Amino acid sequence: MISVFFDATQSRKFFLDMKRIILFGDSITQQGFDTGGWAARLASRYVRRADVLNRGFSGYNTAWARLALDHVFEDFKGHVGEVKFLSGTLVTLFLGANDSALLGRTSETQHVPLPQFQDNLAYIIKYLKDRGAQVIALAPPPVAEGKWSAFLTKRAGAATSIASSRENATTGLYAAAVERVAQAHNIPVVNLWSLFQKDRAWENYLSDGLHLSESGNRLLYTLLAACIEESLPAWAVVNRDGVDTCGAGMSLADVTSPLPLLLPLHGTLNEETSEIPKWA
């Protein structure tokens, strides 16, 4: 019989030593670790360099996210009273798809008026920055109204068409607000509403008219990785050959980054190795 002793204190210290990327948002974030998802791709990119943690909450708007901040982030404190407990943490803030729900439609309880939405975003950004985090804002993608209406109708088993609970133009106003608030707080922003629609076939980036398809997840990942590399070089992960640092066949020997690698590559070890450093 093998006895295993788990030292929670040492485990927590190890966890807090690692750089962290916390993905905070709604269902588009929650679904990010699905097969081909943008979060899964990001985790592959940062393997052994940073823990990518999913804190996406389906259906949430900025009002509910604001109320949940302590529940989501207080666990990252190393000790009671620590203030900058999110130092060494990058947070993606991805909200707005639910705030922009239309009044009088099926999702009206999620609606947050635009001025309140902006105030909530500003509050959340300040909360995170005050605790030492670096933040990247993601503005919601466009809405394919016909596709979303068809999805709602099919899901409800309705005999007649259910009107879309989102309008693309309205979502665009919320996306623009994300960009304004991010710029006011001097943080990077990726405006998916604008960037997706540069492609005439942008509806293909959406699986049901609101959430991302595999190609939409791939594009979001690509845009986010480029934003990190340009705006936050201390978090950059770059393949020397210019090949995307994600997925099968990726060799960590071909990747460069200011972020240290957890444990040395096995190719540097041999039968004479007597000690292994934590970071390489």
Query: What residues are labeled active site?
Result: 27
C-alpha to C-alpha distances, 3 to 6, 11, 228, nearest whole angstrom: 10, 17, 44
DSSP state of 111: -
Q: What is the 3-state secondary structure (H, E, C) of 48-90?
A: CCEEEEEEECCCCCHHHHHHCHHHHHHHHCCCCCCCCCCCCEE
How far, in whole angstroms, is CA 271 from its chain's centroid? 41
Bridge partners (DSSP) of residue 239 are 255
Bridge partners (DSSP) of residue 138 are 94, 190
Q: Report the alpha-carbon distance of residue 151 to residue 119 in Å, rounded.
A: 32
Q: Report the alpha-carbon distance of residue 114 to residue 178 in Å, rounded.
A: 10
Angle value at C-alpha 169, between 27 and 173, nearest 5 degrees: 75
| Concatenated DSSP letters of 114-167 | HHHHHHHHHHHHHHHHHTT-EEEEEEPPP--HHHHHHHHHHHHT-SSPPPPS--
**Residue type, position 103, single letter:** L
